[in-house]
């Protein structure tokens, strides 16, 4: 009965590779997010989708491409991985784009070697 789930939990890969992270929520929420948390624990929004439509697209390299096949899923594909991409990536969801509470997934720990 996990609310927001992400796969994989850990991802270790070489520089230059392409990888994807998947996120699913079973809360019936309309809005989903991707956040990046760096080694200093700074948490920054990357993208947000509302009912499969992109509504927030922060200044993120275009090597990062989100995809929302339906409102319960939001995936993140990263091309040509760089050392600086090493971080924890959190997916989150909320009932609407203006809801006060966001529910976070367990995170995907990405290490680029």
Binding site for other proteins (CB under 8 A): 40-45, 48, 56, 58, 90, 97-98, 100-107
Pick the closer one to other proteins by CB: 42 or 83. Answer: 42
User: CB-based burial of residue 88 (10 Å sphere; 0-12 exposed, 13-18 middle, 19+ buried)?
Assistant: middle
Pick the closer one to other proteins by CB: 35 or 85. Answer: 35
Task: Encode burial over 8-33: b for 16+ CB neighbours within 10 A, e otherwise.
Answer: eeebebeeeeebebbbbbeeebbbbb
Min dist. Cβ of residue 106 to other proteins (A): 5
Min dist. Cβ of residue 44 to other proteins (A): 7
Min dist. Cβ of residue 80 to other proteins (A): 27
């Amino acid at each position: 009965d996990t609310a927001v789930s992400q796969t994989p939990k850990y991802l270790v890969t070489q520089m230059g590779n392409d990888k994807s992270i998947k996120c699913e929520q079973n809360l019936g929420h309309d809005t989903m997010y991707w956040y990046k948390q760096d080694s200093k624990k700074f948490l920054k929004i990357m993208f947000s989708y509302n009912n499969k439509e992109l509504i927030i697209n922060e200044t993120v390299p275009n090597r990062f491409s989100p995809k929302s096949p339906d409102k319960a899923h939001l995936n993140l594909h990263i091309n040509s991985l760089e050392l600086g991409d090493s971080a924890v990536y959190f997916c989150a969801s909320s009932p609407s784009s203006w809801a006060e509470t966001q529910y976070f997934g367990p995170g995907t720990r990405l290490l680029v070697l």
